[in-house]
């Protein structure tokens, strides 16, 4: 008999709620997680460091790197991409995808690289603080 493996994955659907972003989970038995605003921005910016990508490829890369734990739904991703572009942190252009379809490709700007460093530093501070509380409480 093959044992069934239940895999929990987070579907990143971001809702603004008083400065906190709520992340819904696929598993209804788990509770919602509260993450600091900007987590999706950090993930998107990081996926664009090495190369430009279209939206679907950004979502797939986040899922791949997280080993299927994080899944960014399109309803959260595209508004984030638009917001990042408006802030000047990414640029986009239309191109043809590997499947021969027209797609908008996004790339990191120099300002986006600086923002990524700021957000990475903030995330490191936040996660270290949470780690300390979990170890010492």
How sure is the predictor about 92, in pLDDT bands with cuts at 50, 70 and 90?
very high
Joined tokens for residue 136: 């010492």
How sure is the predictor about 116, in pLDDT bands with cuts at 50, 70 and 90?
very high
Mention the CATH class of domain 10-136.
Answer: mainly alpha
Which ranges of 25-109 does DSSP label H, i.e. alpha helix?
39-47, 55-65, 74-86
Q: How confident is the model over 13-63, as pLDDT tens digits?
A: 554 444 444 444 454 333 333 354 478 999 999 999 999 999 999 999 999
pTM to 2 decimal places: 0.74
CB contact at 8 A, 32 and 93: no
CB contact at 8 A, 13 and 73: yes
Burial class (CB in 10 A: 0-12, 13-18, 19+), 5: exposed
SS3 content of the chain, % helix, strand, coil (to 5): 45, 25, 30
Question: Rounded CA gap, 60 and 71, in Å?
Answer: 8
Q: Where are the domains of the chain?
A: 10-136
CB contact at 8 A, 116 and 50: no
């Amino acid at each position: 008999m093959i044992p069934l493996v239940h895999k929990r994955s987070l579907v990143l659907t971001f809702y603004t709620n008083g400065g906190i972003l709520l992340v819904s989970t696929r598993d209804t038995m788990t509770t919602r997680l509260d993450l600091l605003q900007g987590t999706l921005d950090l993930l998107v910016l990081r996926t664009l460091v090495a190369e430009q990508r279209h939206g679907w490829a950004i979502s797939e890369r986040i899922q791949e790197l997280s080993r299927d734990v994080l899944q960014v739904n399109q309803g959260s991703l595209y508004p984030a991409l638009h917001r990042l572009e408006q802030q000047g942190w990414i640029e986009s252009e239309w191109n043809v995808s590997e499947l021969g379809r027209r797609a908008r490709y996004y790339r990191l700007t120099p300002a986006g690289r600086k923002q990524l460093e700021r957000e990475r530093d903030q995330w490191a501070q936040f996660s270290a603080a949470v780690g300390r509380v979990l170890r010492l409480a």
